[in-house]
Structure 1
């Protein structure tokens, strides 16, 4: 594997895992990163082989990240830490995710894959709410299959069209990569600002299915 694809692999797997596992991932450019990675792969001679393999790897990273997020939430004992004045990690957003899981459960986990900030918060809230782990895992796996590979392949095949115009491909890749670098730097800065806000406790109610299981 050349240095180019190797670097793409490292960035994609790291970003996907973080975005699905921990709060830091909420501030990383996940969707645009996957599309950009697909376009970059299209510029390599062996890109098709790599992009399909990377799609599988990203899917596994997304599933693993969700499992870590769920485990973190499960260990909190129904109590999550929000941030007063936070833009994303606030009581209102945690409440929205909790209500989404409470009302729709399985379907909510599927939908969460396509909403950036919900995608990161959902596993942790699901774990804290004691959502049935098997149902969560199945929904998480299905969601991973139709999220990361779809965006990577969309970028790859879009890159195939860009290659028809010799000067356009390098320009588009340069703009997208620059955007990702700037977005990541700003995201880390926003994360630090968010975490510097005063902490605020948020209690997650047990999901109906989990409550039924406890009663039985």
Structure 2
């Protein structure tokens, strides 16, 4: 329970934790961030790690000179691309066995099925769109592997989505993270970055089911 409480506190106050880490350990923060982004995108059982909010806060830290903007963008872009490649590889070679798993503490089969349906409907562009959706961005490359999407096609969407996600959100944090209103409401912004994409996905799924039900009548 203490680990869960700390993780929640880290996600909601990631700005304070990262700033303290930079003060204490300096350049080691780049290794920490690389590991978080790689694991969050590359290990299918780790979808709860911070992603969007972390990138935004990192951008804000770059904006005030605590970190290097070009180094951070380049390094985390590589982490995001390699993470997806790892997840894709896991799905390609081990994914079919997952369909035999039951819900467990480490794998939510319902969430996996939702990601699978989303991928089946929207195809390769899912890899790009899912970058901006917590949980789905962890499952989408895994599902692409399960679906035997070709490596070259997957890599194209992986690189494109990674560049837009990492570059876009870090840049937004760089320019807007130090705005007084943003700093005063950062906790609310983090909640919005976590919850809003999920609400949009659920709304889209609900509309899809209504349309399918109406078509069956």
From the superposition, tell whether residues 77 and 104 of structure 1 become closer, same or farther in structure 2 (CA, over 3 Å). same
Correspondences of 1:1-216 after superposition (within 5 Å): 6-44=27-65, 47=67, 50-76=68-94, 78-80=96-98, 82-84=101-103, 89-162=107-180
Distance apart, 1:158 and its partner CA = 1.7
**Partners of 1:51 and 1:77 in 2: CA distance:** 37
Higher helix residue share: 2
Unmatched segments (≥5 aa) in structure 1:
180-216
From the superposition, tell whether residues 72 and 32 of structure 1 become closer, same or farther in structure 2 (CA, over 3 Å). same
**Partners of 2:38 and 2:169 in 1: CA distance:** 15
Q: Which portions of structure 1, spanning 4 or more consecutive aligned residues, are displaced by more than 3 angstroms?
A: 1-5, 159-162
Distance apart, 1:59 and its partner CA = 1.0
**Partners of 1:85 and 1:96 in 2: CA distance:** 16
From the superposition, tell whether residues 96 and 118 of structure 1 become closer, same or farther in structure 2 (CA, over 3 Å). same
Corresponding residue for 1:183?
A: none
Q: Secondary structure at the match of 1:78?
A: helix
Larger RCO, structures 1/2 (Cα 8 Å, 6+ apart): 1
**Partners of 2:95 and 2:175 in 1: CA distance:** 45
Deviates more, 1:126-135 or 1:115-124: 126-135
Deviates more, 1:13-22 or 1:91-100: 91-100
> What TM-score does the superposition give when structure 2 sets the normalisation length?
0.66
Task: Quote the RMSD (CA, aligned, Å).
Answer: 3.2
Contact 2:91–2:144 (CA under 8 A) maintained in structure 1 = yes
Between Structure 1 and Structure 2, how many residues are aligned? 169
Higher strand residue share: 1
